[in-house]
């Protein structure tokens, strides 16, 4: 039996206001929560017990995923009353593992969509007798990330923070958010306080002389932390650019059960129309996520945007590269462009927004 820890305790700050009511890993991407896609990938790699490291809105995970039986795995729930960071979260969740000290534990960040071959990384970890293996990916803009240089044998040389100058970039390899730990290494992480796996645990392992390796996989990888990335991930799942095992038919759109789309409307480019949602006549929906129980009234244009659960969009609205959160009622003729965001549970009169929010200074406590 192989066990895993899935870190799902973050606030999802960059995705607000979508994460006011729902933690980021439980937001639906192409009809399934992000966490379900990750669990499906784990199950395909013969991982059968997964501990979810929860904190923010922990109850939503248990309500949505239960004991894991519907996904073919066993799910246990670890809870952090106060957030402990990535390293502290791993240590806290490990209390619910059952494996031995030399056994592998796979750790996933809860906000990444990836095509990595988990079994390949496990095999290399075992073959090289490593204490820890990191899944690495190559990116075009390494300056936006911390980087992880390795030698010719794949041994990790350092963990570097985001470079301040372009000339300080030494590699395009970055931490892609999946690790293989020997269980006994996890047991050395400090308890009862905030610990960063990236800034504290990994550098300390190198200083202590443990064998930490990087395994580069240049397949699909996407951090779902922003609305633009979230839309891309959903579209890529719908069209089959990334496969997690939950979607079996790929097309230009995904229309879920009970959804109604008028024949005169166009839904294209990987868009999703959620359960029991309705799209009235003469609408254009392109590269967008329409969640469950949404009404899109006639003659709307929705492009590269997210319309969250229960929202009602009035006739003739134009929404481009923007977000309308849960249970918003938006008046006819409104225009939202350029990463505008309307926060949840509001009735909004006709408005034009350009890189603005409603309300202007929202305070939802996180």
Question: What is the rounded distance in angstroms from the CA atom of residue 353 to the CA atom of residue 320?
Answer: 10
Residues 290 and 207 reside in one and the same domain:
no
Question: What is the rounded distance in angstroms from the CA atom of residue 216 to the CA atom of residue 198?
Answer: 17
- Return the pLDDT at 12: 85
Residues 180 and 277 reside in one and the same domain:
no
Q: What is the pLDDT of residues 190-214, one digit of tens each?
A: 998 999 998 999 999 999 999 999 9
Distance of CA 311 to the CA centre of its chain: 22
Residue 163 clears pLDDT 80, i.e. is over it: no
Q: What is the pLDDT of residues 280-321, one digit of tens each?
A: 999 999 999 999 999 999 999 999 999 999 999 999 999 999
CATH number of the domain where residue 54 is located: 3.90.550.10
The DSSP 8-state label assigned to residue 156 in this structure reads B
- Mean pLDDT for the chain overall: 94
pLDDT band at 4 (very low <50, low <70, confident <90, very high): very high
Residues 124 and 171 reside in one and the same domain:
yes
Question: What is the rounded distance in angstroms from the CA atom of residue 238 to the CA atom of residue 260?
Answer: 18
Residue 280: give the domain boundaries: 251-358
Residues 208 and 267 reside in one and the same domain:
no
Ordered DSSP codes for 202-227 = HHHHHHTT--EEEEE--S-EEE--SH
Question: What is the rounded distance in angstroms from the CA atom of residue 108 to the CA atom of residue 178?
Answer: 5
Residues 192 and 271 reside in one and the same domain:
no
Q: Is residue 51 part of a domain?
A: yes
Mean pLDDT of 92-97: 96
Residue 151 clears pLDDT 60, i.e. is over it: yes
Q: Is residue 232 part of a domain?
A: no
Exposure of 231 in the CB half-sphere (CA atoms within 13 A): 23
Structural domains in the chain (count):
2
Q: Is residue 196 part of a domain?
A: yes
Q: Is residue 203 part of a domain?
A: yes
Residues 152 and 58 reside in one and the same domain:
yes
Residues 131 and 218 reside in one and the same domain:
yes
Can you give the pTM of this predicted structure? Answer: 0.94
| Cis bond upstream, residue 359 (ω within 30) | yes
Residues 169 and 29 reside in one and the same domain:
yes
Q: What is the pLDDT of residues 234-277, one digit of tens each?
A: 999 999 999 999 999 999 999 999 999 999 999 999 999 999 99
CATH number of the domain where residue 267 is located: 2.160.10.10
């Amino acid at each position: 039996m192989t066990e895993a820890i899935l870190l799902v305790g973050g606030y999802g700050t960059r995705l607000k206001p979508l994460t006011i009511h729902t933690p980021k890993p439980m937001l639906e991407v192409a009809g399934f929560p992000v966490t379900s896609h990750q669990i499906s990938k784990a199950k395909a790699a013969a991982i059968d017990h997964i501990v979810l490291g929860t904190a923010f809105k922990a109850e939503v995970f248990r309500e949505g995923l239960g004991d894991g039986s519907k996904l073919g795995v066993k799910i246990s729930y670890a809870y952090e009353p106060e957030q402990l960071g990535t390293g502290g979260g791993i240590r806290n969740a490990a209390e619910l593992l059952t494996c031995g000290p030399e056994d592998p534990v796979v750790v996933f960040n809860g906000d990444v969509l990836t095509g990595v071959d988990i079994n390949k990384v496990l095999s290399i970890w075992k073959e090289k007798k490593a204490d820890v293996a990191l899944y690495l990916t190559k990116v075009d803009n390494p300056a936006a990330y911390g980087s992880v240089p390795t030698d010719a044998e794949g041994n990790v040389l350092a963990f570097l923070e985001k470079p301040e100058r372009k000339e300080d970039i030494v590699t395009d390899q970055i931490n892609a958010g999946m690790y293989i730990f020997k269980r006994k290494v996890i047991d050395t992480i400090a308890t009862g306080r905030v610990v960063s796996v990236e800034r504290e645990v990994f550098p300390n392992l190198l200083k202590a002389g443990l064998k930490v390796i990087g395994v580069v996989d240049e397949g699909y990888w996407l951090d779902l932390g922003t609305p633009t990335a979230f839309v891309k991930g959903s579209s890529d799942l719908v069209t089959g650019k990334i496969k997690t095992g939950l979607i079996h038919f790929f097309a230009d759109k995904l229309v879920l059960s009970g959804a109604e789309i008028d024949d005169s409307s166009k839904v294209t480019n990987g868009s999703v129309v959620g359960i029991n949602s309705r799209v009235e006549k003469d609408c254009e929906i392109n590269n967008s996520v329409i969640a469950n129980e949404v009404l899109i009234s006639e003659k709307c244009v929705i492009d590269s945007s997210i319309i969250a659960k229960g929202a009602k969009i009035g006739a003739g609205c134009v929404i481009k590269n923007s977000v309308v959160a849960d249970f918003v009622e938006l008046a006819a003729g409104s225009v939202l462009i350029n990463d505008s965001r309307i926060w949840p549970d509001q009735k909004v009169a006709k408005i034009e927004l350009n890189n603005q929010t409603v309300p202007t200074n929202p305070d939802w406590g996180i």
